[in-house]
Structure 1
Amino acid sequence: MSEAPVRFTREGIWRGFVLAQPLAPGVAVYGLVFGALAAERGLSWLQATLMSVFVYSGSAQLAALQVWSSHSSAVLALAVTVVAINARYVLYSAAIQPWLSQVSRPRALGTLFLLGDGSWALAMREHAAGYRDAGFILGSGLAGFIPWVGGTLVGQLLAREMPDPRAWGLDFMLPAFAAAIGISLWRGRTDVAPLACAIAVALPMELWAPSGWTIVLAGLAAGVAGALRHGR
């Protein structure tokens, strides 16, 4: 039995936008936190908003704030951090390639630009259920993109009334996010080696490495350990 042909319609976009609405409040709060921390780091409202528009990755943007520095030596660390954290989108896009490969390239690229963790998960669920309107991916992506950018702007402006985000614990957002992701992905003893390697590298590098490089080097160490583990 052949599969239904892939479409890209307004109805699909609207369906994705509506079904992704339960995720929107959390995304808006996440954006608000980023905006406040960006202001604390000295970014203007325009810089913070443009960063959310063109990077559109909460984890990468929060990590970038940890690396943020006026020193030119930190620029490479910042770029590597963003690329490394966003590498998962290569897998995301490969997973939905059978769907988007059947629509025009401008539509596919525009949809991929707005792809997020939540919209990808929703899209995969719909695809598994037999839904074949690729507009769903774009609609669910817009449902996350709009509150993310809006939350960033509001958080940046409200930061004037909140001069020290650390007093509210907002600087703990990235470690908390990373811990939540790590716990959700934990698979038992097989993950001990990558975790141990990351810790072993991170502790001394926090003292010796240039600003921002700790997270990069620890991530690379964990990646190498994981690759060696699977290569056996």
Structure 2
Amino acid sequence: MSTPEPATPDPFFSAAGVRRGFVGGQPLAPGTFVYGMVFGVLASERGLAWIEAMLMSVLVYSGSAQLAALQGWTAAPLIAPLVITVLLINARYVLYSASVQPWLAGATRGRALGTLFFPGDGNWALAMREYHAGYRDAGFLFGSGLATALPWFVGTTAGHLLGGSVPNPQSLGLDFMLVAFAAAIGVTVFRGRGDLWPAAAAILAGLALYRWLPGWTIVGAGLAAGLMGGARAR
């Protein structure tokens, strides 16, 4: 006679879960703070005012998307490529939100929407590990998101204020941050030789657009990779 598996508790949302998530997210905070400082320094170099950099960090809240936007930022930036760049890079959050839907089913609409404002790559992975371990307090997702969001905002401010004392960020390699971040993600998710086709499509599109339409480089490379990946999947 088989032993019945213990019942999984229903999802809920509590202050205790928020505290547990906030404490659990602290190992992510230092890296997020430094990442925010890098963005703040580069935003200052690009001519963004402090309030503009802070609003971008609060409203966009995506290091990869914000650094990509800065790559194409000029005195008179093309708005359409910047918006499309942010949407393409942040498209993964659609999948993130879908993955936590069963967890947030135990929260009120207001708490669920507030929680969905804060997920980042690090705290989402941390929260999903807790969920798969059987923890069902959705407050953990909110608390861990808060633990990474606050250092990001503070780091943006600190970096912008220090930007004037860093006369040449390129000499410190700060302009390489987006490339390093994208390369790290690429190595992590690489599954085999089949992934080389989308990568090659992105490289070719990026090189072509860099020469003829520089403002659309990242957008075009992302679309080319997506189309190639979709074609191969079919």
What is the identity, as a one-letter code, of the residue corresponding to 2:10? Answer: P
Matched, 1:196 2:232: no
1:2 is displaced (CA, Å) by: 4.1
Name the structure 2 match of 1:62: 67
C-alpha separation between the residues in 1 aligned to 2:209 and 2:161? 35
Q: 1:123-202 maps to which residues of 2 (within 5 A)? A: 123-202=127-206
What is the identity, as a one-letter code, of the residue corresponding to 1:117? Answer: D
CA contact (8 A) 2:39 2:156 kept: yes
Name the structure 2 match of 1:94: 98
- Select which of 207, 218, 226 maps to 1:223: 226
Any unmatched runs of 5+ in structure 2? Answer: 1-5
Moved over 2 A (4+): 69-72
Any unmatched runs of 5+ in structure 1? Answer: none
Aligned residue for 1:212, secondary structure, equals helix
What is the identity, as a one-letter code, of the residue corresponding to 2:39? Answer: F
Q: Any idea what the Cα deviations from partners look like across 1:9-48, whole Å, max 9, x if unmatched?
A: 1110000000111110000000000000000000111111
1:3 is displaced (CA, Å) by: 2.5
Name the structure 2 match of 1:31: 36
CA contact (8 A) 2:12 2:104 kept: no
Matched, 1:214 2:217: yes
TM-score by length of 1: 0.96
Q: 1:69-88 maps to which residues of 2 (within 5 A)? A: 69-71=74-76, 74-88=78-92
Q: Which moved more, 1:184-193 or 1:9-18?
A: 184-193
Aligned residue for 2:146, secondary structure, equals helix
What is the identity, as a one-letter code, of the residue corresponding to 1:6? Answer: P
What is the identity, as a one-letter code, of the residue corresponding to 2:132? Answer: A
C-alpha separation between the residues in 2 aligned to 1:115 and 1:5? 21
Q: How many aligned positions are there?
A: 229
C-alpha separation between the residues in 2 aligned to 1:52 and 1:150? 10
What is the identity, as a one-letter code, of the residue corresponding to 2:192? Answer: G
TM-score by length of 2: 0.95
C-alpha separation between the residues in 2 aligned to 1:57 and 1:149? 11
What is the identity, as a one-letter code, of the residue corresponding to 2:24? Answer: L
Name the structure 2 match of 1:110: 114
